[in-house]
Amino acid sequence: MASKEAESIVGLYREWSDKLTLSGDMELPELRELFDHWGDLSSEPEGVEFQETVLAGVDCVWAIPKGADKSRVVICCHGGGFMVGSPKSHNKMYGHVAKAVGCSALVLDYTRAPENPHPGIVEQAVAVYGQLLEQGFKPEHIATTGDSAGGNLCTSMILYARHKGLPVPACTAPLSPWYDMESKGASMQTNADNDALVGGDMLEGMIGAFLGENGSKQDPFANPLYGDLAGFPATLIQVGEYEVLLDDSTRFYENGKAAGVDIELQVFDEMQHVFQFMAGNAPEADDAVAKIAAFMRPRLGLA
């Protein structure tokens, strides 16, 4: 049974749903401002310093825990349907991840859709990854993570990096990943009444903005369910039981297993979309962050 603390994310999502219904077609700047309050669910991670930087022309934020191993890095891709979300909404959650793993995290502030349709976002992410390699970070000392659309990006950037001839990182941990641009998952219907935020109408608008006029819903760099996963790095997927996107995770997991990937799927009972936002405030989120760290630390060579 979900904890009382975990009810906070349901309350926030229902509040947003009410606002979106009452406001009709909310303008994009207002929508982005609304979703920046995702970060209100997270507690402030103690002992973590945030520093703005620019890598490969992309704005980023370093989350540096006290005593962190700075030879390792977790690249963090924020969610929000590729249209909303930002370091402002996600810094605290990824600060908790960085602190648990024991190394620095780099939160990407990529240029969002519709201003930057596919493949622009994945190209920016891979450019940052390439810059880190040029700066001397070893691929086996780099991990990626991301939530929702960022879960897609932390996956697709590995596929695209390999396509560009770059070595793959040590591991990746997609959180509530949104992979399917065709919305074929059965959970889109079976969890429609359980998911307090995500729905088909919302996704369709974001798909159009992300792919643009000429994008394909079956492009493996936009929809990793079509990706070639042979040689893909170790992967941990976390998803909530109540998500309409649950089947995105289960199908990618099955694809990974079939391709011989070292892959694990963790489904959290009664949890909502990106419940990890409640890090520091709900036991389910703290448990998830601890499991991310337990997965990443040995693969990054951290004791």
Domain membership flag for residue 65: yes
Q: Where residue 164 sits, what CATH number does that domain have?
A: 3.40.50.1820
Would you give the DSSP letter of residue 243?
Answer: -
C-alpha dihedral (40, 45, 49, 53), degrees to nearest 10: -50
Domain membership flag for residue 260: yes
Domain membership flag for residue 2: no
**Helix, strand, coil in percent for the chain, rounding step 5:** 45, 20, 40
Q: For position 129, what pLDDT does the model report?
A: 99
Domain membership flag for residue 171: yes
- The answer to whether 116 and 125 are in contact (CB under 8 A) is no
Domain membership flag for residue 107: yes
Number of domains in the chain: 1
Q: For position 20, what pLDDT does the model report?
A: 80
Per-residue pLDDT of the chain (303 residues; tens, 9 = 90+): 899 999 999 999 999 988 887 666 789 999 999 999 999 999 999 999 999 999 999 999 999 999 999 999 999 999 999 999 999 999 999 999 999 999 999 999 999 999 999 999 999 999 999 999 999 999 999 999 999 999 999 999 999 999 999 999 999 999 999 999 999 999 999 999 999 999 878 899 999 999 999 999 999 999 999 999 999 999 999 999 999 999 999 999 999 999 999 999 999 999 999 999 999 999 999 999 999 999 999 999 997
- The answer to whether 169 and 231 are in contact (CB under 8 A) is no
Domain membership flag for residue 146: yes
Q: Find the helix packing angle between 120-134 and 149-163, rounded to 10°.
A: 60
Domain membership flag for residue 1: no
Q: For position 271, what pLDDT does the model report?
A: 98
Q: Is the pTM of this model over 0.75?
A: yes
99 CB-near residues (< 8 Å, 6+ apart):
45, 47, 48, 65
Q: In terms of residue numbers, what domain contains 250? A: 7-299
Domain membership flag for residue 13: yes
